[in-house]
Structure 1
């Protein structure tokens, strides 16, 4: 699900760039950070999930 969300964000990002590049240059500059933002969010989610799994394994008797 996280991977699908990331792919969808990349596709929508390229679509928004082609649609809004000419009239809104500042919005285009803002959208340059969208893939980096989604990548950071998915990485933090993965770290949280993996960290919880390792924590549960460490707490097993």
Structure 2
């Protein structure tokens, strides 16, 4: 028993190319949103920096 019937590429090439382009667009949108969320999340966190005049840590809010 075959799980999937044979699918000659010639018959569904247009559908394959459309799905591929759609997947590329979705991937680019997800990448852009992830990159944007990553940049925005850095704005919410307090930054810990070393102060040149002390040996402690200065936290900027």
Report the TM-score range of the alignment, normalised by the length of the smaller protein: 0.5 to 0.7
Residue ranges of structure 2 left out of the alignment (5+ in a row): 1-8, 47-60
Match for 1:27 among 13, 21, 25? 13
RMSD over aligned CA atoms reads: 1.6
Structure with larger Rg: 2
Number of residue pairs the alignment of both structures matches: 39
Q: Unpaired segments of 5 or more residues in structure 1?
A: 1-22
Q: Which has the higher strand share?
A: 2
- Runs of 4+ more than 2 Å apart: none
When normalised by structure 2's length, the TM-score is 0.54
Highest RCO, 1 vs 2 (Cα 8 Å, sep ≥ 6): 1
Whose helix fraction is larger, Structure 1's or Structure 2's? 1
